[in-house]
Chain A
Amino acid sequence: MGNLDNANPIVFLATKERNVLPEEEDDIFTDKFDTREIFDLIRVINDPEHPLTLEELNVVEESKIKVDDDANAVHILFTPTIPHCSMATLIGLSIRVKLLRSLPSRFKVDVQITPGTHDSEQAVNKQLADKERVAAALENSHLLDVVNQCLARRATG
């Protein structure tokens, strides 16, 4: 465990499951994507280093998600646990891939670091916004394996 960037992260409580309203199960209604729905998609992503989720490490928070369903826009800020976290790009990539796989293709997804929380904020943001680099990264089987491990649902308990 000596090689971890942050060996002793603060652990936060996970939120409870969402309360599903009766009309949400009714196919007559068109549900718009809201922040909780996006949060539910990304809060369960595994941290690349710890046996914890991004939610438990407070890397993602519902309050830092903006969704405008009509404008097809999703904007996410994530907060690395420490300012020199070397995993920031990988975490951002995992969030991006999770949403690429889960949301309708009409959505434009922006994933950025919470301002002021990482030493290489600009560089990481630019890399995550470059679709060509993201596309090339996802053709790299080693990197894709690592991303898929972050996205795999862990058995709970």
Chain B
Amino acid sequence: MQTLKEFQTLTGHSDRAWCVSWSPSGTLLASCGGDKTIRIWGKEGDKWVCKSILADGHTRTIRSVSWSPCGQYLAAASFDATTSVWSRKAGEFECLATLEGHENEVKCTAWACTGNLLATCSRDKSVWIWEVTADEEFECASVMSTHTQDVKHVKWHPCKEILASCGYDDTIRIFREQADDWECCTTLKGHESTVWSIDFDKSGSRLASCSADSTVKIWQEYEPGNSEGVVTTDNISTWKCVCTIGGYHERAIYDISWSQLSGLLATASGDDTICVYKESPSPDSKNQPQFELVARARGAHSQDVNSTEWSPTEEGLLASCSDDGIVKLWKLEQD
């Protein structure tokens, strides 16, 4: 086993902290929450400190934040039905745009790998795709109303313009652009309750999902003409659940992060615990992968853990945040 060692506690949020997100360079961490603020944390010497507080963007809870691939923009999704986009220039953040259109709470935002597209999702059951124009404006390119209930999370493929979403209807949907319009090409069913979050692996051919049913599922992409003989239709990949990881969390799993550096999975749960899993060697790792628990921080926070994310640049560095309002930094260490 390995140990998740807490090495810094970042306090400042005056209400529940909903989300943590690393900048692509790994030098900044953004967090947000019920106090309607975004906090930007950075390293000074050996310590992480609060560098900025972005306080006047929203009138209600800020549910999530995400960085553009270039690290110059930060998007924030709020219960006030808007998405704000912040621009970082000379170390200062200013609100560049407020995107309106969703009927009610915006739950999540995500930037495509190219930085040219931004996706948002909401309790209004829709997923929106916004095009980022050369003069820093945002135009709605598509509204997709495939989910039958509120949409909790959106995530782009790491190197293609393929979007995944998940939500309260217990499904995951995959969207692609086809003949100048966006369409849902696949629906993944298997979870028995709300799918709270999803993350792709480094290659983008695998997707991990976590749910209120307390399990994690690993989905494998089978491209048209795959050697396994998995049937595909209309030249669209088929995604199959190849592994279910259960028995480690006692309550809903709210977030999952798949490290691009180590391949490790981390999960955050309403049982106050963070778990880390590693893929173990198996004879057929593509079609029947096996994952083992390598670290578990019980009571990682004093209340529900809402979000966790691996650093994109420092292996084994993990951030988390909780209903207790605290952001924590962890290092995975060998025993």
Contacts and interface: CB of A to CB of B under 8 A. Distances in A.
Contacts of B194: 126, 130
B123 A135 contact: no
Given A132-B107, A135-B61, A108 B251 contact: yes
B79 interface: yes
B303 A105 contact: yes
Interface string B60-82: 11010000000000000001000
B302 A131 contact: no
A139 interface: yes
Interface of B: 16, 34, 60-61, 63, 79, 104-105, 107, 123, 150, 152, 168, 193-194, 212, 251-252, 270-271, 302-304, 323-324
Contact of B34 (A105, A129, A130, A135): A135
A139 B302 contact: no
Contacts of B270: 108, 131
A152 interface: no
Given A126-B168, A131-B270, 6 more contacts: A105-B324, A108-B271, A126-B193, A130-B212, A132-B152, A136-B61
Contacts of A142: none
A126 B323 CA distance: 20
A130 to B, nearest CB: 7
27 contacts: A105-B302, A105-B324, A106-B302, A106-B303, A108-B251, A108-B271, A126-B168, A126-B193, A126-B194, A129-B212, A129-B252, A130-B168, A130-B194, A131-B304, A132-B63, A132-B107, A132-B152, A133-B123, A133-B150, A135-B16, A135-B61, A136-B104, A136-B105, A136-B123, A139-B60, A139-B61, A139-B79
Top-7 shortest CB links A-B: A136-B105, A139-B60, A136-B79, A105-B303, A139-B79, A139-B61, A135-B61
Contacts of B324: 105
A47 B77 CA distance: 35
Interface in A128-148: 129-133, 135-136, 139
- The A contact surface, by secondary structure, is helix
Interface in A21-39: none
Contacts of A130: 168, 194, 212
B246 to A, nearest CB: 18
A106 B301 CA distance: 10
A131 B63 CA distance: 12
- The B contact surface, by secondary structure, is loop
Interface of A: 105-106, 108, 126, 129-133, 135-136, 139
Contacts of A132: 63, 107, 152
A143 to B, nearest CB: 13
Contacts of B168: 126, 130
Contacts of A105: 302-303, 323-324
A38 B53 CA distance: 39
A131 B323 CA distance: 10
A136 B79 CA distance: 7
B192 to A, nearest CB: 11
A139 B60 CA distance: 7
Contacts of B123: 133, 136
Nearest to B304: A131
A135 B168 CA distance: 15
B200 to A, nearest CB: 23
A136 B81 CA distance: 11
Contacts of A106: 302-303
Contacts of B302: 105-106
B173 to A, nearest CB: 19
Contacts of B303: 105-106
A105 B323 CA distance: 9
B325 to A, nearest CB: 10
A29 B86 CA distance: 53
Contacts of B79: 135-136, 139
Contacts of B152: 132
A139 B63 CA distance: 13
A4 B302 CA distance: 42
Nearest to B168: A130
A126 B150 CA distance: 13
A131 B33 CA distance: 13
A108 B323 CA distance: 12
